[in-house]
């Protein structure tokens, strides 16, 4: 198991190219199950979560080829049961349910277990499948969905914590091959949902309104092969900009999509960091100090939960009192105890973190608990005095392509040690 040692204090300067979005690529790869013809997906990031998804597709019978960032999948004949051993490693495996149900009228996947970022039910996904005419059965830790035929319906996917991203993806993927029209109200508006819809449209699907709260899908008889370029990863982009804010100097992110970054750029700018955007670039200039903020996470276009931990790291070093409320995953604060071990002054009040900025953090051995929490510890380590040793870095490799190498190219001093 690798660990990462961050030697703090080195300022960041230069430019870094943003990878394709993990959270777009995962459902898009699952959507290749909807056609027998080959699909070619480009700008697929090299991450362990992507590797799990490609393994699931192979186990389901697909021919999968990968050449650097381009993946070709041909799903001529598919099985309908995803193997537990791989599914258990990644919650996003759940998004093979929709395409398999749409194409084969049945699918079985192990139920995702608990997750360190909180309770992660799939009731809304299942509610959507039921509305399309599927029966849902639970047995031996698996969920099976099956339907004699998939019929279009009007479905509301809004839950207690807002809309569901993978739930919207799943229902959209099942509905593209349904008989008749499906209307998804309370749909997730995330750019990753729109990216999936654009790929489905390239395959011959009829979809309107993706990226808004109401998606309308006219079922078609079959889909064909297509090519697609995955959108830039807005959370990776936000993580690099926050790294620049925390330690200072100028950093430019390239091959990014500034219009997806508004909810991240606005608070960074409010905190006093200078931001300029180009067509596909964003530059952040920092002298390593900023103003405190009051923020809350919410579904897109709000401030993303996937940036909350990194923002906690930044605000821990900003003079004054900041407040961050987590509305999407109210228990997603595993990073707080670790940041406190580095000297941060954070008090948790339910789903709200009250952060009293400290002048300096100090390096310590810390434990990565999930993907974004791990990124927050790396960011804190960049600013901290001395060295920060981060264990269990496989969490980082699930969702950041070469985070340590990319930061080192900007001037950071990070070592990866094989243990």
Catalytic residues: 115
> Applying CB under 6 A, which of residues 20, 99, 167, 232 lies at the interface with ligand EPU?
167
DSSP 92: G
195 binds ligand EPU (CB under 6 A): no
Q: b/e per residue, 352-365, with b = 16+ CB within 10 A?
A: ebebebbeebebbe
248 binds ligand EPU (CB under 6 A): no
> For the window 390-419, what string marks contact with ligand EPU as x by the rule CB under 6 A?
---------x--------------------
> Applying CB under 6 A, which of residues 87, 166, 230, 295 lies at the interface with ligand EPU?
166
Pick 9 or 330: Cβ nearer ligand EPU:
330
Q: Report how far residue 177's alpha carbon sits from residue 107's, in angstroms, rounded to the nearest whole number.
A: 15
The encoded tokens of residue 144 equal 């099976």
385 binds ligand EPU (CB under 6 A): no
165 binds ligand EPU (CB under 6 A): yes
CB atoms within 10 A of CB 280: 13
Helix or strand (DSSP H, E) at 308 = helix 308-316
Q: What is the DSSP string of 244-297?
A: HHHH-EEEEEES--GGG-HHHHHHHHHTT-EEEE-SS-EEEEE-S-----EEEB
Task: Answer for the pair 191, 260: CB distance below 8 angstroms, yes or no.
Answer: yes
Pick 278 or 350: Cβ nearer ligand EPU:
350
Footprint (CB under 6 A) of ligand EPU, residues 113-132 = 119-125
The encoded tokens of residue 9 equal 């204090």
DSSP 33: G
Q: Indicate the length of the chain as a whole number.
A: 419
Phi, psi of 312 (to 5 degrees): -60, -40
CA 395 to chain centroid: 13
Pick 190 or 248: Cβ nearer ligand EPU:
190
Q: How far is the CB of 188 from ligand EPU (least distance, A)?
A: 6
Footprint (CB under 6 A) of ligand EPU, residues 280-309 = 305-306
Question: Which listed range, 81-89, 158-166, 197-205, 315-323, lies at the site for ligand EPU (CB under 6 A)?
Answer: 158-166
The encoded tokens of residue 74 equal 């041909």
240 binds ligand EPU (CB under 6 A): no
Binding-site residue total for ligand EPU (CB under 6 A)? 26
Question: Which listed range, 54-62, 164-172, 207-215, 310-318, lies at the site for ligand EPU (CB under 6 A)?
Answer: 164-172
Q: How far is the CB of 379 from ligand EPU (least distance, A)?
A: 15
> Applying CB under 6 A, which of residues 12, 16, 18, 23 lies at the interface with ligand EPU?
23
Q: What separation in angstroms does the CA of 35 have from each of 221, 250, 294?
A: 11, 45, 46
> For the window 318-357, what string marks contact with ligand EPU as x by the rule CB under 6 A?
----------xx----------------------------
Contact residues toward ligand EPU (CB under 6 A) are: 23, 26, 92, 119-125, 159-162, 164-167, 188, 305-306, 328-329, 371-372, 399
């Amino acid at each position: 198991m690798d660990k990462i040692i961050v030697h703090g204090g080195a300022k960041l300067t230069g430019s870094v190219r943003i990878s394709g979005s993990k959270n777009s690529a995962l459902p898009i790869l699952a959507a290749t199950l909807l056609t027998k013809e080959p699909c070619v997906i480009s700008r697929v990031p090299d991450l362990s979560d992507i590797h799990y998804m490609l393994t699931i597709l192979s186990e389901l019978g697909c021919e999968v080829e990968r050449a650097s960032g381009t993946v070709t999948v041909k799903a001529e004949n598919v099985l309908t049961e995803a193997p537990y051993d791989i599914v258990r490693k990644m919650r996003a495996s759940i998004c093979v349910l929709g395409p398999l149900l749409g194409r084969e009228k049945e699918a079985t996947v192990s139920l995702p277990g608990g997750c360190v970022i909180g309770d992660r039910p799939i009731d809304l996904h299942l509610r959507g499948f039921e509305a399309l005419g599927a029966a849902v059965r639970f047995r031996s830790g698996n969920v099976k969905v099956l339907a004699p035929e998939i019929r279009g319906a009007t479905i509301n996917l809004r839950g207690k914590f807002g809309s569901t991203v993978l739930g919207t993806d799943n229902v959209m993927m099942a509905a593209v091959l349904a008989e008749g029209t499906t209307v998804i109200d309370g749909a997730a508006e995330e750019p990753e949902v729109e990216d999936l819809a654009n790929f489905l449209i390239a395959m011959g699907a009829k979809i309107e309104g993706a990226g808004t709260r109401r998606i309308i899908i006219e079922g078609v008889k079959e889909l064909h092969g297509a090519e697609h370029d995955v959108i830039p990863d807005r959370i990776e982009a936000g993580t690099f900009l926050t790294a620049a804010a925390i330690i200072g100097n100028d950093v430019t992110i390239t091959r990014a999509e500034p219009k997806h970054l508004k909810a991240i750029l606005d608070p960074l700018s409010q905190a006093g960091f200078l931001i300029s955007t180009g067509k596909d670039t964003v530059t952040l200039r920092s002298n390593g100090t900023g103003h405190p903020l009051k923020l809350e996470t919410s579904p897109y276009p709000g401030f993303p939960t996937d940036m909350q931990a990194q923002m906690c790291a930044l605000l821990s070093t900003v003079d004054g009192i900041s407040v961050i409320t987590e509305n999407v995953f109210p228990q997603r604060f595993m990073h707080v105890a670790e940041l406190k071990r580095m000297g941060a002054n954070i008090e948790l009040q339910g789903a709200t973190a009250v952060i009293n900025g400290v002048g300096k953090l100090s390096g310590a051995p810390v434990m990565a608990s999930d993907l974004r929490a791990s990124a927050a510890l790396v960011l804190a380590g960049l600013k901290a005095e001395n060295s920060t040793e981060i264990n269990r870095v496989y969490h980082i490799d699930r969702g950041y392509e070469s985070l340590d190498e990319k930061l080192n190219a900007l001037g950071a001093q990070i070592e990866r040690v094989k243990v």
